Structure formats: C-alpha cells, structure tokens
C-alpha cells in the first residue's frame, strides 16, 4: 500500500460509500470515449510506457491510456525482478491517475509460473516461483495442493500489481492431438471440476476483494473438441465438433467454476459445427453467451472475448487474420456489433475504440448498451480496491516474488507430479554414484547424483529426457509454437531410443504436453516416467529416491494414431485399448 492517491473530490473516490453508489457516480461522469475505452482489453509490453511493441503492432501504453482511454491491459514479458516489475506497474498507474477521471489500470496476465513459452498462451516463470503446468496438478489430483499453488501465485501477482489471471484453462482434453492440452487439467470432467474450485479459492479467497486476483475462466463452453486436434487460433483449426453429442460433459467444469465464484469468463475462438448452436465463433455466438452462459447458467460476470476477433494483423512476418470464424464476411464494425449483441463485455486483444465510437454515433449501438458492460467492469475495479490504492510497494515486491519457500514448494510440486508408468525389475530408484549416460539433462546437476559418462556402453544406466512428439508445420508465424499432428515418435527417433535401451538399462522421462503414443518404448525401457513441466533437479530427486513419484495419469495414453483418429473428439477415454489408462501411476 502507498500514499500516492489524489484527494477525494467526487463520491466515487470515497471509500466509505457503497460500491453501487460509487459505480453510479463514476458512470454519470464518464464521457462516451471513457466508456468505449473500458470495453477494450489488449496487450501492453513491459517497456518504456512511451514506447510501443512492433512485434505485436502495439502502440505505447501511454497513448492507449491518454488517447483511447483504455485501462485494461494484458502484460507481455516480465521484469528481471519483483522490484523492477512493481516500479514499472506504479509508473503506469501514475499515468492513469493523470487522466481526468483517474480510472486505475487493471493488469492481467496469462499463466507465468510454469515452463511453457508461447506468447499467445503462456509465459515463462521468469522471476516468479516455478511449478508444474496445471496438468501436473491434475496428476497430483489434490484440490488443496492446487489451492496452495494459487495462493502463492496470488501473493506474487499482487506484489507486482497483476489483478486478473487469464486462467485457469478448464477445457477438457478429449481430443489427444489438441495443442493446448498442457494448460488443462486433463480429460476427466469430475476431476477438473474439483480442481477448479481450489484454483479459484486460492486466487480469489472466499470472495473477491482487495487482496484477490480475479480469475478469467476459459474457454467457454469448452475448447477441447477441436476437429483433428487443430487449434482455432488459425483458420485451419476453426471447427469445433461434437460427434459424440457430449456438449454437456464439457460444461461441467464451467458450472463448478461459476458456483465457486468466478467473476470473468472467456469464450474460445472455435466455431461449433453440427450442433443446435449457430455456426459462428463462440465470441460472436448469442446462443452460447446469452442463451447458455447468462440465461441458463446464470452468469452475470464479465465476458471478455479471446484475443483478436476483429482485426487482421501481421505477427512474426506472417498474416494472422482475425479469428472471426463464421463471421469472416462481416466488416470490422459488423463483427463488433455481432459480439456485443451476443453479450460480450470486452474485446480482448483489440484497441479499435474509434470503431465503437462510430457505431454509437451512427445510432447502431446505444450508450445504454455500453453502460451494461461498463458497470460490470467498473464494479470489479472497485471490488478489487483499485480505486482506493492502485499502487504496490516495491520493497514488498522484491521480498515476495520468487521467495525461497515459494520456490521450494514449486520444486516439490514438480517432483510430486511425476508419474511413474513402468519400473521393470525395480530399476528405480537409482543408487547414487552409478555411471550414467544422459540426454536432455544438465551435466552439472546430474554430477551431484552420479558419475556422468559419454556413451551408453560406458554406463550402468541411461537417463533420457524427451518430449511428446509433434509435427512442425510450414505455415509460419506463431503456428510453429503449437504442437500438433502425430503423437507417434518418428521412426528414426524411436529406433534410436530403443537402441540405447537395448544397450543399457534406460530411464525415459517424457514431457507430456500431449498424450504421447509410446509405441513399445514402455516395453524396451527399464522405466518410463512422465512429467508435466519439471526441471532437472525435480526429476533427479525422484529418480534417485529423495522423493517418491506421486502422480497419476490425467488422461489415457493412446495405443496408436489409428486409435486416436478413430476416436470421437468430444468423448473422454474414447481411444481403443490405450497403453495406459487415466489414473495409472506406480509408486516406490
């Protein structure tokens, strides 16, 4: 907390008044441009506030605050330390206070406590404590353990001024090829429903307040059933299909999230095909947002579209068209109208405030319609305490971010999430000092446990750290960051791994960002262990018996790609005769 606030001049600045009274007062003082700016939630780069980000085509934060009256930003990148992070945040809040109404900024973030690094979906941990991906918490299976992670993440977010988590992702991983499985809790709706309750409680507390981080639940109504496992960030992955008629199954976690107090919701890009819903992306879909989410499920919180539904852009030198699936033929103002009519409150990843102002001035959108969404957005800012003190303490941030006990807890969670699939002749745990041939392991870290040798023939055991297979496309841009295609190891790589296993007892540790087809490696290797984001130290502690693996598979591991292709994208546990079933996990 700081003492940088300006004097109280208007009722909305008076913390002793009720929130509804403060919202009403501020709303009455807002110009049309202020209201329009509230409906946009786009990226901002960790950089000088007066400088833009050419990679994403983002203008400077200062210009978006001053000229477009925007005050919701999704932060890209991170500072090297908590103190620098907090100082940057405070500088932006001072900028916001200079505006006529002094509306504070709400900063949001994609997940940033794990290992994934894809600017469209998640960020590296950087100065924060590092934990397994959410899939690792599904493997642990404890809502209480997940709540503790969320409590730690909440403290680190609060310390640097991040007040909205653009997560959790509670899509169900019923299509094994889908590239975004690592961010889910697996394919079981009941497990996901239990876990999301703990997640929300850890970030928000018993109810949303000044010490909370709000959670934006995604991706309604469940983004898992993607046709052929392709992702709707891209035109070739726009279709979401339900060959098994399992729409209700995918809704279960969202119903649990609403019951747990979720205040924000993000629809996905996908366009439902072959259902009773309109065949248009969920962000434009009135059947889904108003009919299902608001009317049937009773959700009255903020609905923010996924990023980039309105405007075509170029990123990394490749064209990235607006994800206006089913509405491609509409102009940008028409897309905006359709989304507003569907019931959204904010446009994610957009900053075309002039288009919205033009629609109001032309009489195509009423100011009353804007007020509906602005009221929701203002209310959340007040509930989070941003109007009473938007600043953070830079010394506190230095102490909290990456705190030693948080780092230790994150490391323990990484180890505990590991899932032991096979352990022939009790190969694991290994004895210290054995001669090890290793791939994908830091030599210095391994040297604390074993004697490192240069070839399998010289070793007592091999440790091979690898990743679930994927195919690299040739479409360019960001698409290469999404792991898609076959789940089988390429023949030459499979043969190479098998040859090592034939030479020396071998431990294969595989990062399962998707459910890999092992193709017999489970038989040739002495032990196979799965991880969901774990550093070398976390893995070696388990391999050498300092900790026992506690994880259980959060999805089936399919027997073959033929079985995957034959399965129904929306149906859980639908691949024939899987190699390992959901819930499998050995102990020692």
CB atoms within 10 A of CB 358: 15
Using the predicted structure, report yes or no on whether residue 109 has a pLDDT greater than 70: yes
pLDDT in tens, 190-206: 999 999 999 999 999 99
Would residue 578 count as lying in a domain? no
**DSSP label at 157?**
H
Our CA dihedral for 188, 194, 195, 199, rounded to 10 degrees, sits at: 150
- Domain membership of residue 356 (yes or no) is no
Same domain, 386 and 478: no
> What are the CA-CA distances from residue 143 to residues 148, 194, 262, 269, 350 (Å)?
9, 6, 16, 28, 35
Question: Is the pLDDT assigned to residue 245 strictly greater than 80?
Answer: yes
Count of domains observed in the chain: 2
HEC-encoded secondary structure of 180-204: CHHHCCCCCHHHHHHHHHHHHHHHH
Q: What domain range includes position 235?
A: 11-20+44-279+382-400
Does residue 208 sit in the same domain as residue 162?
A: yes
CATH number for the domain that contains residue 132: 3.20.20.300
- 111 found inside a domain: yes
Per the prediction, the chain carries an average pLDDT of 94
Would you state the pLDDT for residue 223?
A: 96
The region of weakest confidence among 13-17, 112-116, 219-223, 559-563 is: 112-116
Q: Are residues 491 and 555 in the same domain?
A: yes
The confidence score (pLDDT) of residue 119 equals 55
Question: What mean pLDDT is predicted for residues 361-381?
Answer: 98
Evaluate if residue 51 carries a pLDDT over 90: no
Which CATH number covers residue 556?
3.40.50.1700
Give the pLDDT of residue 116: 65
Same domain, 477 and 387: no
* Co-location of 394 and 455 in the same domain: no
- The domain boundary, picked from 400, 432, 455, lies at 400
Task: Report residue 135 as tokens.
Answer: 């899939």
Tokens of 417: 């999430």
237 domain-assigned:
yes
- Do 158 and 65 belong to one domain? yes
pLDDT of residue 76: 87
pLDDT at 80: 87
Per residue in 62-76, pLDDT tens?
999 999 999 999 998
Contacts by residues 6-13 (CB-CB < 8 Å, ≥ 24 positions apart): 6/97, 6/102, 12/387, 13/102, 13/387
Give the mean model confidence (pLDDT) for residues 488-507. Answer: 98
Q: In terms of domains, do 82 and 207 share one?
A: yes
**Could you say which of 110, 171, 188, 306 is catalytic?**
306
Is residue 267 located within the same domain as residue 392? yes
- Is residue 236's pLDDT more than 70? yes
- Give yes or no: residues 65 and 107 share one domain: yes
Tell me, yes or no, if 416 is annotated catalytic: no
The C-alpha atoms of residue 435 and residue 537 are separated, in whole angstroms, by 18
How would residue 1 be classed by pLDDT, with cut points 50, 70 and 90? Answer: very low
Q: How confident is the model at residue 123 (pLDDT cuts 50, 70, 90)?
A: low
pLDDT tens-digit readout, 403-454? 999 999 999 999 999 999 999 999 999 999 999 999 999 999 999 999 999 9
pLDDT value for 118:
58
Co-location of 494 and 388 in the same domain = no
Provide the percentage of residues in the chain whose pLDDT is more than 70. 96
Express as a percent the part of the chain with pLDDT over 90: 89
Which pLDDT value is given to residue 315?
A: 73
Quickly state the pLDDT bin for 473 (edges 50, 70, 90).
low
Average pLDDT over residues 398-403: 96
Cβ atoms of residues 67 and 139 within 8 Å: no
* Domain-located, residue 153: yes
The predicted structure's pLDDT at residue 122: 52
The verdict on residue 296 lying in a domain is no
In the predicted structure, residue 570 carries a pLDDT above the cut 60:
yes
Do residues 112 and 199 both lie within one domain? yes
Which residues partner with 73 through β-bridges? 42, 107
Residues 389 and 275 in one domain: yes
Is 320 a member of any domain?
no
In sequence order, the β-bridge partners of residue 216 are 264
| Per-residue three-class SS string for 379-441 | HHHHHCCCCCCCCCCHHHHHHHCCCHHHHHHHHHHHHHHCEEEEEHHHCCCCCCCCEEEEECC
* Residue 319 placed within a domain: no
| Cβ 320 vs Cβ 310: under 8 Å | no
């Amino acid at each position: 907390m700081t003492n940088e606030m300006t004097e109280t001049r208007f009722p909305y600045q008076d913390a002793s008044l009720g929130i509804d009274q403060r919202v009403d007062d501020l709303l009455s003082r807002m110009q049309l441009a202020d209201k329009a700016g509230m409906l946009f939630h786009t990226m901002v780069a960790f950089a000088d506030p007066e400088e833009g980000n050419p990679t994403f085509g983002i203008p400077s934060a200062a210009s978006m605050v001053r000229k477009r009256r925007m005050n919701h930003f999704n932060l890209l990148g991170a500072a090297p330390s908590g103190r620098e992070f907090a100082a940057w945040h405070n500088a932006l809040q001072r900028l916001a206070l200079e505006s006529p109404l002094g509306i504070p900024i709400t900063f949001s973030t994609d997940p940033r406590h794990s290992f994934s690094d894809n600017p469209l979906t998640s960020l590296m941990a950087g100065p924060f404590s590092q934990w397994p991906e959410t899939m690792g918490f599904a493997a642990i299976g404890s809502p209480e353990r997940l709540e503790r992670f969320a409590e730690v993440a909440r403290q680190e977010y609060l310390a640097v001024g991040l007040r909205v988590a653009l997560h959790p992702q509670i899509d169900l991983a019923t299509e094994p090829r889908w590239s975004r499985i690592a961010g889910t809790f697996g394919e079981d709706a009941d497990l996901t429903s239990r876990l999301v309750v703990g997640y929300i409680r850890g970030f928000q507390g018993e109810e949303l307040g000044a010490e909370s981080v709000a959670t934006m639940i995604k991706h309604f109504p469940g983004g898992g059933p993607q046709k052929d496992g392709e992702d709707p960030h891209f035109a070739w992955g726009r279709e979401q299909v339900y060959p098994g008629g399992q729409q209700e199954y995918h809704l279960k976690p969202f119903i649990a999230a609403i019951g747990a107090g979720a205040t924000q919701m993000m629809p996905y890009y996908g366009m439902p095909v072959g259902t009773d819903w309109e065949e248009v992306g969920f962000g434009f879909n009135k059947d889904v947002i108003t009919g299902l989410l608001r009317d049937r499920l009773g959700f009255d919180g903020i609905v923010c579209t996924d990023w980039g539904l309105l405007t075509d852009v170029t990123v990394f030198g490749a064209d990235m068209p607006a994800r206006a699936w089913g509405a491609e033929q509409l102009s940008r103002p028409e897309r905006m109208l359709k989304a507003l009519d569907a019931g959204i409150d904010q446009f994610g990843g957009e900053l075309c405030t002039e288009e919205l102002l033009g629609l109001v001035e032309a009489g195509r959108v009423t100011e009353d319609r804007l007020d509906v969404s602005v009221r929701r957005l203002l209310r959340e800012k007040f509930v989070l305490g941003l109007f009473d003190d938007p600043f953070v303490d830079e010394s506190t941030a230095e102490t909290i971010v990456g705190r030693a006990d948080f780092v230790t807890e994150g490391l323990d969670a990484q180890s505990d999430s590991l899932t032991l699939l096979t352990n022939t002749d009790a190969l694991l745990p290994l004895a210290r000092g054995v001669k090890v041939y290793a791939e994908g392991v830091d030599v210095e870290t391994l040297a604390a446990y074993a004697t490192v040798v240069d070839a399998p023939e010289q070793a007592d055991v091999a440790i091979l750290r690898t990743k679930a297979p994927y195919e690299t496309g040739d479409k360019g841009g960001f698409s290469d960051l999404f792991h898609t295609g076959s789940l089988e190891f390429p023949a030459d790589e499979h043969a190479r791994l098998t040859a090592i296993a034939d030479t020396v007892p071998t431990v294969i540790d595989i990062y399962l960002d998707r459910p890999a087809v092992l193709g017999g490696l489970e038989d040739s290797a002495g032990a196979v262990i799965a991880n969901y984001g774990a550093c070398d130290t976390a893995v070696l502690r388990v391999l050498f018996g300092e900790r026992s693996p506690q994880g259980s598979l959060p999805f089936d591991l399919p027997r073959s790609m033929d079985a995957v292709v034959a399965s129904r994208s929306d149906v859980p546990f639908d691949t024939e005769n899987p190699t390992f079933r959901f819930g499998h996990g050995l102990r020692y």
